Amino acid sequence: MSEAIADSSAGLTHLALLMGICGGIGLVLSIVGIYSVMSYVASKRTHAFGVRMALGATANDVFRMTLTEAGALTGLGLVLGSALAVVIARVLASALFGLVSIHAMTFLGVALGLAIVSLAAACFPARRALSLDPAAILRGQ
């Protein structure tokens, strides 16, 4: 009997493995995409960082401002993405019999991981730009 059960569920096991691999690839791609966008946005603001520091802002003030803006963008993305993920999970749960698709800890873990990646992606280019001389930034060097 156990052999018959194993034979009948072998396809589901492989399907679950493939879906897990695809989910992992999607997670890695989203991390790379978030890092790329946040890094690009922060690096394009180097001139604005130089202007603020030349006018008297400290490096910590500019860094805090950068993280605040990145946090707002990250929060908006997480709220919209989580809402869309819950809707899609409910649709899939109704379409696939016996599937329990909404796990709060999974949603929370993925959202927390993406928030950390997003804020880290904003930190590195901002720190690099803040270590430069404001006069050199304003001259365009």
DSSP characters over 1-31: -HHHHHHHHHHHHHHHHHHHHHHHHHHHHHH
Evaluate if pTM is beyond 0.85.
no
Q: How large is the average pLDDT for residues 72-94? A: 88
The whole-number pLDDT of residue 101 equals: 65
Cα dihedral 45, 37, 108, 102 in deg (nearest 10)? 150
The whole-number pLDDT of residue 122 equals: 80
Q: Which amino acid is at 97?
A: F
Q: Which residues contact 50 (CB under 8 A, 6 or more apart)?
A: 129, 132, 134, 135, 136, 137, 138
Q: 76-85, pLDDT tens digit by residue?
A: 999 999 999 8
Q: 14-58, pLDDT tens digit by residue?
A: 888 899 899 889 888 888 888 888 778 877 888 888 888 888 888
